[in-house]
């Protein structure tokens, strides 16, 4: 897997050390190209290193993290803000950051945010390769999914269901789970010929992997991996009608 470069900017040296330690433990393929504890030097560090990913504190003397990022008109890197205050959340997203991580850094939040960053970075890399694009035609039967720096081609018969996660979507197969940087609505349009069924705002299921129907929670589908998924009440009748087409009830 090709390395992804990163820089860490924080006026607290111990905070830099925490981010470094977590990257080394959970994301060893992310190469830390530089660190900086003075905001006035951060701009030159980013310009010199030209990293793929920037971790930056928001409240720093002289320049804030927002000031540093705004100085790059044509940004080529992804940003994750690190802060002790959640009041900056809205501004972080206005700056098109992938997210912000609150101090003290929670392990799961860190892994989730950095994972999303790596997905976006890798997809951006592959989008620069001529003629390497997803086939978005209505006849496409495979989805190109980027995972750990490599593309996997998932056939529609391999996918159990899709789960929405904000601007991202999780893809569940019998053996693996993937994350892509497309929201569920966009994905639904791309795979309109796959005959998947939307059972609520968050799930799009493959009817071939539905093993049963439950009356729990007002109506659920039981997937082959043992997951029970709730069906929205306003579309329950339509969903169950579609699932019943190829079933003989005795």
Q: Are 200 and 231 in contact (CB under 8 A)?
A: yes
Residues in contact with 132: Cβ distance below 8 Å, sequence separation at least 6, in sequence order = 126
Domains of the chain are: 4-127 (3.40.50.2300), 142-243 (2.40.50.1020)
How far is the C-alpha of 158 from the C-alpha of 225, rounded, in Å? 13
What three-state secondary structure class fits 186? helix
Residues in contact with 11: Cβ distance below 8 Å, sequence separation at least 6, in sequence order = 37, 38, 39, 57, 60, 61
What tens digit of pLDDT does each residue of 174-199 get?
A: 988 988 888 999 999 888 888 899 99
What letter would DSSP give residue 232?
P
Residue (of 125, 101, 128, 103) closest to 112 by Cα position: 101
Q: Are 61 and 11 in contact (CB under 8 A)?
A: yes
pLDDT of residue 181: 82
Q: How confident is the model at residue 220 (pLDDT cuts 50, 70, 90)?
A: very high
- What does the mean pLDDT of the chain come to? 85
For residue 200, give both structure tokens.
Answer: 């609520």
Q: What is the CA radius of gyration of the chain?
A: 22
What tens digit of pLDDT does each residue of 17-35 get?
A: 999 999 999 999 899 999 9
pLDDT of residue 126: 63
How far is the C-alpha of 27 from the C-alpha of 115, rounded, in Å? 9
How far is the C-alpha of 5 from the C-alpha of 12, rounded, in Å? 21
C-alpha to C-alpha distances, 133 to 103, 128, 178, nearest whole angstrom: 38, 9, 18
Does 53 score more than 80 pLDDT? yes
Q: pTM here?
A: 0.62
């Amino acid at each position: 897997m090709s390395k992804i470069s990163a820089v860490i900017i924080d006026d607290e040296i111990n905070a830099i050390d925490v981010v470094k330690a977590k990257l080394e433990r959970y994301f060893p393929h992310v190469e830390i190209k530089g660190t900086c504890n003075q905001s006035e030097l951060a701009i030159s560090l980013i310009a010199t290193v030209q990293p793929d990913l920037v971790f930056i504190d928001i409240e720093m003397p002289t320049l804030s993290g927002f000031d540093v990022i705004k100085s790059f008109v044509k940004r080529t890197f992804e940003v994750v803000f690190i802060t002790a205050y959640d009041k900056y959340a809205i501004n972080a997203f206005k700056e098109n950051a992938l997210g912000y991580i609150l101090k003290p850094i929670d392990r799961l939040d860190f892994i989730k945010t950095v994972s999303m960053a790596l997905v976006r970075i890798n997809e951006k890399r592959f989008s620069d390769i001529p003629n390497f694009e997803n086939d978005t035609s209505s006849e496409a039967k495979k989805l190109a999914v980027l995972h750990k720096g490599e593309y996997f081609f998932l056939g529609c018969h391999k996918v159990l269901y899709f789960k929405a996660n904000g601007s991202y979507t999780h893809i569940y197969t019998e053996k693996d789970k993937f994350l892509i940087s497309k929201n569920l609505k966009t994905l639904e349009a791309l795979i309109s010929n796959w005959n998947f069924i939307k059972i609520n705002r968050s799930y799009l299921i493959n009817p071939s992997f539905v093993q049963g129907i439950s009356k729990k929670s007002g109506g659920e589908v039981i997937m082959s991996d043992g997951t029970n998924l709730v069906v929205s009440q306003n579309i329950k009748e339509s969903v169950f009608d579609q699932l019943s087409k190829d079933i003989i009830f005795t």
